[in-house]
Structure 1
Amino acid sequence: MTESVKEKPIVWTISGSDCSGGAGIAADIKTGHALGVEVCHLITANTVQNANRLISINPVACETLQQQAKVLIDDKPPSVIKIGLIANLEQVTWLTELLAGFKANYPKISVVFDPVGQASVGGSFSTLEREDLTLLFHYVDVITPNLMEAQQLSNLLTLDPVELAIKISELGVASVIVKGGHSAVLDNDGLQISDDYCLHHVEQSSISYQLSSPRINTSYSHGGGCSFASAVTAFLAHGYLLRDAFTLTKAFINQGLAKSVTASIKKPDYYGAFQQTHWPNNADFFPRISSNLVKKYQALPPFPSLALSDTKLGLYPVVDSLYWLKRLLPLGLNIIQLRLKNKTDIELEALIIAAIAISQPYKTRLFINDYWQLAIKHRAYGVHIGQEDLQNANLTRIQQSGLHLGISTHGCYEFLLAQQLQPSYLAIGAIFPTKTKNMSGQIQGVENLQQLLKLASNIPVVAIGGINLQRAERVWQTGVDSIAVVTAITESENAEIAVKQFQHIMQ
């Protein structure tokens, strides 16, 4: 039997060739292959360098680059383009015109720019000034400077990545990631940490993401910056949102640096090549989220556990009425959620009071969706809060009231953030497209669910979104603790039979 081959996303890398194989195109190709994308490359310059020094830069003619781009766009159009070394002003002009045409004809193509200026071994890759890149910036979706490059682009001397990112974003770039690998700060315990900062512009607003990891000291980091930008490129090509591509990239870099620690001890003065390993799947290498929300509640104790012992949560129906609570509570469920929408304040309170009363005779854990103040007031078992509502919720009051807390997450960034808040359970979704919410760009799929479960601590994990009886077995086999369903029960021909069928799968 012939196995079907999954088609890989295609990315282009437009950068210089490092004859020593550490940085540039070589790093891009190794990173792309490690992360499951097909890499087409256009070489802007052949460099003469090794682990000790940069000797010369030999630019490739724009005519050659244009011919390569022309034949590739017909055969292997990219979903993402990564730009590295730009050797001269002629290449800037060519590249700007190329991207302008691509953006007009292929608006979904994303562009990641790693503004390579200085070689880590010393010497300059380019004589270009910031002003030479002004027009190019308008076609760049993500720029990934290190601290030194960020200072040059911003004309600021500060080491504050927030200030640097804000200033660079004024150049017209949609999103800025300032890599912190060339610096280290001390945390509260005196340990060296490496911070990376991302400023992401979405429509008329901006969102920031900051990631922190213990610094990994190794001299084998040649090409690490190129690999960082290439990893962002690869994850974007796989369809990840920028916040998740950023988080996965940080883990990929940590993983590669850790792989080289032993070699670095043996040859401490040798500037060896960064090691591109594999898809990041070890929780130890994933960063901590340094958001304002996490900092606000970092001293908060864990929320109460669900006291499951050796059993799993199993089936988790999400319903919108007392009718469905009355119908499903007698069916031996461990957990159920009441999600009320489009009700007046008076109606909400009356329904929540009634729901809590109805659930009292049963051992089923009743979670109220969103309305944490009413859940506290009327002593519900728990409250479920969506990621978008976390900012406005008072987690201290919720924790002090004794309420159990469930939090929705969509992707690894939100999963790690929510996990640091130590809730009673975490929900991952949407696993599949769903009738109840528009989850465009946030469909996780079973494969990504499996990856996220590798990052889980001892907090129970619930899978939710578009899961029906036909899909439930596959989802349950991932090892998830619970499957939440909505229409698979409420729109079934016989809800009681549907519940039994789900419960049978989750035995």
Structure 2
Amino acid sequence: MTDSANRANKTTVIWSIAGSDNSAGAGIQADLKTSQSFSTPEQPLHLCTLVTAITAQHSSGVDSCMAVSVAMLHQQAMALLKDAKPTVIKIGLLVNKLQVLWLADFLQELRQQQTDLLVIYDPVAISSSGSRMADADLYQAVMQHLLPQLDLLTPNLPELEAFTKAAPAKQAVQQLFEFGVKAVLVKGGHNFDTQSCTDELFISPQFSFRGYPAYSHQISLRSPRQQHQFNHGTGCCFSSALAAALALGYALEDAFVVAKSYINQGLSQPVAITECSGTLGHWGFPAKADYLPELLTEDLQPPAKSFAPLKAPLGLYVIVPSVAELQRALAAGVKTLQLRIKSTDQVLLRQEIQQAIQLCQQHDIQLFINDHWQLALELGAYGVHLGQEDINSANLAALRQAGLRLGLSSHGFYKLLRAQQFQPSYLAIGAVFATQTKEMGGKLQGLQKLARYSALFPTIPLVAIGGIHEHNAQAVLACGIQHLAVVQAFAKAAEPTLWVQQMQQLIAGAQLEQKPCSMI
């Protein structure tokens, strides 16, 4: 098979079922631009279109809208199915009840053949300028026929009210859940806050993405409101950015963070068509920390001050299961260690942790204790490493006050954003590659995500973990990551001292070069 054929097999197909915007700010044209911003040679996306309406519009309004017949819609769908089925379908403008009825039946049949299909509906009926583009009874038809076929609904506040006539938002969302929708993203562009824009994602307990439940069932993201009028197509682009991120395999929470960042980037660098009208820009995957939103929904109170910084770069970070292996690592020249003991014997835990702390203090080594933060605090450890599930029970204030360094595990954009608010000493990202020590169930991070993490989270040391060894370390470092955590690679090293020297040289060389990864 040729290289081009191999690449074609990796292409992910998205469908956009929406209206055509001849001004290219919203609708089909905006969906195409957004999808292209997320596509890379390593993970190509291909967006196909089913046009529901032809509009005559500009960045300030819609002058005319003509519906496409259901027969023509069906022919478009049948033609596309001759090539490839979609991974994600994003629905935009539907004009009338007949289109809704056809689409509901079509999606039901398609789901019988394709159980992992994701369907997003951005319920456009009235443009942001106030122009009505759909029949008055459209939402009633959607409620009765289309909602059970949807995974994610993305209404703004007026659209949510038109659907449910319920307030506040939580009650309206619950009503939509009862109709079968799995998740609802309430876009906040129409709220009364003139200084900021808050979007809320509500996820039903029944929702799962490729077999994995959501980490949180309500997430709110806030960003400063852009004080200009160059925002034509923002809602369309938000939902199509979600579609693109989900097509890349991102969890729904991660897709939400990325889509919000994408919109922030586009509004920060808009395309002005006239002095008073324009659209948001499409400048590729968001790559600056300034575009990240603020996470509001966590009940946890982050510390007022950051945790103590590292006294030296992590560099090569070796994780060991016992004091015996720790001593082997010390003899090989390792300067940063984590003691990860899985025993439940409290006497053994105390003895091992105390001995490890004493050994590392003698050699001026950065030692992190995994999970057992109470013993680490009591015995005067240098630092602790916690999973984000442990934050609820750990006394972070006591750890910070005692001067312990804190490392937190992260497995995606949402968890990185969540972990960052606790101002830890470092963030661990994994698993990068498949590993024997932890089953990630298809949620591997990969090199492309690493490059994007390093661009969006540049202020906190990031350490990559999971399946890293001497043969793939260079590729990881090329993504802007300067710290590598290893488990099995060190444990299996026949000559640990030489192996450690080799890895330390790779890391030192990458830190000097500071080359950006080509996959951003």
Q: Which moved more, 1:392-401 or 1:237-246?
A: 392-401
Q: Which residue of 2 aligns with 1:132?
A: 141
Give 1:21-420 correspondences, 5 Å limit.
Answer: 21-36=24-39, 37-126=45-134, 127-133=136-142, 134-158=144-168, 161-185=169-193, 192-203=195-206, 207-260=217-270, 263=272, 267-268=275-276, 270=277, 272-293=278-299, 296-297=301-302, 299-308=303-312, 312-420=313-421
Offset at residue 171 of structure 1 (A): 2.5
* 1:282 and 1:455 in contact (8 A); partners too: yes
**Separation of aligned partners in 1, 2:474 and 2:60:** 55
TM-score by length of 2: 0.89
Task: Tell me what 2:429 maps to.
Answer: 428
**1:55: Cα distance to partner?**
3.8
RMSD: 2.2
- Contact preservation (8 Å) 1:184, 1:194: no
Cα deviation digits, residues 261-292 of structure 1 (max 9, x gap):
8x48x723x3x233222211111111122232
Do the aligned partners of 2:90 and 2:243 also contact (CA within 8 Å) in 1? yes
Secondary structure in structure 1 of the residue aligned to 2:391: helix
Corresponding residue SS for 1:463: strand
| Separation (CA, whole Å) in 2 of partners of 1:167 and 1:481 | 48
Q: Is the 8 A contact 1:17 1:45 kept in 2?
A: yes
Q: CA-to-partner distance for each residue in 1:163-205, whole Å, 9 max, x for gaps? A: 543443332111111111222537xxxxx11111111235477
Map Cα deviations across residues 68-127 of structure 1 (whole Å, 9 max, x no partner). 211211203211100011111111111111111111111111111101121112232222
8 Å contact from structure 2 (residues 95, 138) kept in 1:
no
**Matched position secondary structure for 2:149:** coil
User: Taking structure 1 as reference, are residues 165 and 441 closer, same or farther at Cα in structure 2, changes over 3 Å only?
Assistant: farther
Aligned partners of 2:323, 2:465: CA distance in 1, in Å? Answer: 21
Please say if residues 17 and 24 of structure 1, whose CA atoms lie closer than 8 Å, have aligned partners that are also in contact: yes
Deviation at 1:401, TM superposition (A): 2.1
1:371–1:166: structure 2 CA closer, same or farther, 3 Å change rule? farther
Greater mean deviation of Cα atoms: 493-502 or 431-440:
493-502
Q: 1:202 to 1:320 in 2, by over 3 A?
A: farther
* More off after superposition, 236-245 vs 2-11: 2-11
- Residue by residue, what CA displacement relative to the aligned partner does 1:232-262 show, whole Å, maximum 9, x if unpaired? 111111111111111111111111111128x
Rounded to whole Å, the distance in 1 between the matches of 2:391 and 2:148 is 34
Q: CA deviation at 1:31?
A: 1.4
Letter in 1 for 2:309: S
State the identity as a percent.
Answer: 39
8 Å CA contact retained: 1:165, 1:198:
no
Matches of 1:107 and 1:335, distance apart in 2:
46
CA change 1:376–1:150 in 2 (3 A) is same
* Count of aligned positions: 490
Which amino acid letter does the alignment assign opposite residue 63 of structure 1? A
Aligned in 2, Cα 1:162/1:335: closer, same or farther, shift over 3 Å?
farther
Instruction: State the partner residue of 1:189.
Output: none
Local SS of the residue matching 1:225: helix
Aligned AA for 1:361?
Q
Hey, what's the Cα distance between the residues in 2 that align with 1:350 and 1:149?
A: 61
**1:227 is aligned with what amino acid?**
C
CA deviations over 1:298-331 (Å, ceiling 9, x no partner) = x5211001122xxx32110111111101111233
Residue pair 2:97, 2:138 contacting (<8 A) in 1 also: no
Quick one: structure 1 residues 345 and 131, their matched pair in 2 at CA, closer, same or farther if it must change by over 3 Å?
Answer: farther
Question: Are the counterparts in 1 of residues 426 and 460 from structure 2 also a CA contact under 8 Å?
Answer: yes
Partner residue, 1:468: 469
Residues in 2 aligned to 1:481 and 1:50: alpha-carbon distance in whole angstroms: 47
CA contact (8 A) 1:44 1:65 kept: yes
1:369 shift after superposition: 0.5
8 Å contact from structure 1 (residues 432, 466) kept in 2: yes
Contact 1:184 1:195 in 2 (8 A): no
Instruction: List alignment gaps of at least 5 residues for structure 1.
Output: 187-191
Distance 2:113 2:393 in 1: 41
Once residues 79 and 59 of structure 2 are traced to their aligned partners in structure 1, the CA distance between those partners, rounded to angstroms, is 34
Checking the alignment, whether the CA contact within 8 Å between 1:300 and 1:396 is kept in structure 2 is no
Q: In 2, distance between residues paired with 1:445 and 1:52?
A: 42
2 CA distance for matches of 1:184 and 1:286?
Answer: 22
2:25 is the counterpart of 1:19 = no
Q: Cα offset for 1:428? A: 1.2
